Structure 1
Amino acid sequence: MAPIGDVMAWGESFDYLLECKTGQLVFEDFLRTEYSEENLLFWFACENYKKISSETEMMVAAKRIYSEFVQVDAPRQINIDCVTRGEIRENICQPGPNCFDRAQRVIYGLMENDSYPRFLKSEIYQTLLEQAEKR
């Protein structure tokens, strides 16, 4: 059970929701009900990707992110424009630390402006809020 302060803070800030481990899990559950959890999974993959310092590991991770989320017909294909998708495709043989930045910004915007407001109105969040307020 998430502390009341956390649950209430998720309603104030999308960033706070993403920074909180419990918030991430609850938001992912919500996105799964909308069949859009790939957005959050991609965002986390990008966050982890940026922490990689080894060039070899970066190349392996970039190819995995590309094949899982970016390429057309990827198993968890994210909704990005063809220009961004093409840019990543061109950079994938020499991926830098910022290879996915534009796509990550697009997906962050989609989640913040589209999924997040629906999450705050969702039964999942409202139930947690009620439970937190009762304690």
Structure 2
Amino acid sequence: MLAPIDDVMTWGESFDHLLECKTGQLMFENFLRTEYSEENLLFWLACEEYKNMSCTTERVGAAKRIYKDFVQVGAPRQINIDCVTREEIQENISQPAPNCFDRAQRLIYRLMENDSYPRFLKSEIYQALMEQAEGR
């Protein structure tokens, strides 16, 4: 997949630039899949979508899905968060507020930014994109 050269260059400048770009998200997800940790990005994206929901009924359904898929112990894509954060979400899941996943989302963001993102920048996936971008 060819990404615009400007996009590829900015991904290396900051983690936010990477996440703001749809192609960047896809490339990062491909990389995370090789490390068996794509659930972090998928959770973060689900939380972003969740925060922008205005319909309460839709938000409650989405919150339960996020909880079932990512948060509860034994979830198919269980994220690595501390038990206090997990319990806090569990207590609020029946009547979820727009910010009910904020703490967990911040933890996962920091984990990706400090751990996965530096490895992504050194990965063959990113290096190949940089070569393509520079070779144009």
Tell me if both proteins adopt one fold, taking TM over 0.5 as the criterion.
yes
Q: Output the CA distance in 2 between the equivalents of 1:53 and 1:3.
A: 33
For residues 1-135 of structure 1, the aligned pairs below 5 Å read 1-135=2-136
Q: Output the CA distance in 1 between the equivalents of 2:78 and 2:21.
A: 25
Task: Give the deviation of 1:4 after TM superposition.
Answer: 1.0
State, as a whole percentage, how many aligned pairs show the same letter.
80
Q: Output the CA distance in 2 between the equivalents of 1:40 and 1:9.
A: 19
Task: Give the deviation of 1:96 after TM superposition.
Answer: 0.3
Amino acid in the other structure paired with 1:58: R
Task: Give the deviation of 1:116 after TM superposition.
Answer: 0.1
Q: Output the CA distance in 2 between the equivalents of 1:23 and 1:95.
A: 30
Q: Output the CA distance in 1 between the equivalents of 2:107 and 2:80.
A: 9
RMSD of equivalent CA atoms: 0.4
Normalised by the length of structure 2, the TM-score is 0.98
Q: Output the CA distance in 1 between the equivalents of 2:100 and 2:4.
A: 36
Task: Give the deviation of 1:62 after TM superposition.
Answer: 0.4
- Tell me, which stretches of 5 or more residues in structure 1 are unaligned? none
- Tell me, which stretches of 5 or more residues in structure 2 are unaligned? none
Deviates more, 1:48-57 or 1:31-40: 48-57
Name the SS for the 2:87 alignment partner.
Answer: helix
The C-alpha deviation readout for 1:39-83, integer Å capped at 9, x for no partner, is 000000000000111111111000000000000000000000000
Q: Output the CA distance in 1 between the equivalents of 2:42 and 2:69.
A: 10
The count of aligned residue pairs is 135
Name the SS for the 1:107 alignment partner.
Answer: helix
Normalised by the length of structure 1, the TM-score is 0.99
